[in-house]
Chains A and B, each alone.
Chain A
């Protein structure tokens, strides 16, 4: 066997790759092709026919544009909220936490150790009408007597923010942690105020983390349906809820497939716009 490898050195990488590539090819790429095939079919379950039914796409868009826009809107707000919550925390851990750094990193990822659905259900307890948060907000007159938090847009966005927070915080921490403290000292030596040093040195150097965190948070958030299903009502339904229901409840595979492609396409467009704004180099590293 060793002799075989010696004689065919050029083959080695392909032999190493083969099993993994095959798995990803058969169970990732080919399914995408099937999804495309399905999205152009017409008919009713279980008798679908391939008819180049491009109207599936336009019909899906005109029927569900509201949920699509809502998904991107919620994902956008949640991403910004994650950034505002995570940046100071990541900064504090990177520069101030000293030997406790790794412990606080564990704290950041700790929510991932609680089953996704269960940690989302925990927000039901926290935001419940009889719960402490609603009680406090009513006492402080932020909420009226009959107002509630559950089954509102706020609850859904808050749930998304919480669930994808680590995706934002970890890349932020990694990029902040790599900043050489001597650069900040140099800025101070050159009479930069600490605000200016932050804006001109720390913030630009942490940009790769902001970019990575934004993508890692936004993409899964736009496709999420669990938060809207558990913490919201049909009025907060996102595109993920529609796709899921079409596949598993109304068995309307062509529409579901078309919607999946539209979601992917819109994320791609969002990525391109984002790349235009922040610069391509930062996006691809």
Chain B
């Protein structure tokens, strides 16, 4: 169109307007990328300093490149048992919380019963309570019932299941709401009873949501410090270990472990992004 119009001033005005939107668009993009840079900066620092060869006790200033920290990641007393405890707690708590949370989500979405909104509130409350209050209240329970509960591995486990459940309920609920119930009715019509229907139809369909909830729960558990610290007694998870050693001097091995956790998580995330991207592409081609 504009090629055919001989009116030069109009084209110039349009070009200027185009330039202005171009600048505007790039200002936004530049700002967005700056924020991305801000988000990435500490991560880069953590990974970079895992390769540092500190001269003194402090790992603050870059001294030189080394792989020693990675090959001797457990050279610091206490770091290995702390990581093992973290993994054990995260695995167990995630398993239990995913099971309990999925059942709750099914009840809330599938059934109308007296007390439904109260249940929703009970699920919402732990998520909107500050961690320090969650941890402190649980600690007072344990301190007042020392005959039953001694602070340690199991009190950490109890605390983690408690704060993961709500996140599982919310995640699985979202999936169940968009669930086609005709599939279950069809199974029942074909003679399957409730349990068989659940195992063969319902479970496979909600499995992705359960997996997502479990991954979220695992991430929350392995990263939790506040609630764990209050209820751990003498037992150490990795974050509690870092807190203790941060008062002296943080060795590069801490960066190594944090980088390793980050790399595993980001690999899982990238895998997910890539598979979604491929699924979207396949859908576009199919349409």
Which A residues contact B (CB, under 8 angstroms)?
1-2, 5-6, 10, 12-14, 16-17, 19-21, 23-25, 27-32, 34-35, 37-38, 85-86, 88-89, 91-93, 96, 99, 102-119, 121-126, 128, 130-131, 162, 165, 194, 215, 219-220, 222-226, 230, 240, 243-244, 247-248, 253, 256-257, 260, 263-264, 267
Contact = CB atoms under 8 A, between A and B. Distances in A.
B141 A86 contact: no
A179 B245 CA distance: 47
Interface in B26-76: 28-29, 31-32, 35-36, 38-43, 45-46, 49, 59-61
A126 B45 contact: yes
A21 B113 contact: no
6 contacts: A96-B25, A110-B39, A116-B239, A117-B246, A126-B45, A226-B226
A111 B39 CA distance: 7
Interface string B80-108: 00000000000000000001110110111
Interface stretch (B4-12, B205-213, B257-265): B257-265
A19 B103 contact: yes
Given A25-B122, A114-B261, 8 more contacts: A20-B165, A23-B165, A92-B29, A114-B258, A117-B242, A125-B45, A125-B49, A263-B132
A41 to B, nearest CB: 10
Q: Is the interface of B mostly helix, strand, loop or mixed?
A: helix
A23 to B, nearest CB: 6
Contacts of A224: 132
Contacts of A19: 99-100, 103
Given A215-B128, A223-B132, A110 B104 contact: no
B170 interface: no
A113 B226 contact: no
A122 B39 CA distance: 12
A215 B128 CA distance: 8
Contacts of A110: 39-40, 43, 262, 266, 269
B28 A96 contact: yes
A264 B129 contact: yes
Contacts of B136: 35, 243, 247, 256-257, 260
B184 to A, nearest CB: 14
Contacts of B150: none
Given A34-B137, A93-B32, A244-B132, A24 B165 contact: yes
B103 A20 contact: yes
A92 B80 CA distance: 42
A143 B91 CA distance: 47
A20 B105 CA distance: 10
B130 A219 contact: yes
A102 B35 contact: no
Contacts of A126: 41-42, 45
B113 A13 contact: yes
B117 to A, nearest CB: 11
B282 to A, nearest CB: 14
A243 B265 contact: no
A149 to B, nearest CB: 13
B39 A117 contact: no
B28 A117 contact: no
Contacts of A105: 273
Interface in B243-264: 243, 246, 250, 254-255, 257-258, 261-262
Contact of A89 (B35, B193, B257, B269): B35
A260 B132 contact: yes
Contacts of B246: 117, 121, 230
A114 B43 contact: yes
A107 B59 CA distance: 26
A27 B103 contact: no
Contacts of A31: 137-138, 140-141
Nearest to B162: A27
Contacts of B104: 16-17, 20-21
Interface in B189-211: 193-195
B140 A34 contact: yes
Given A34-B144, A115-B238, A23 B129 contact: no
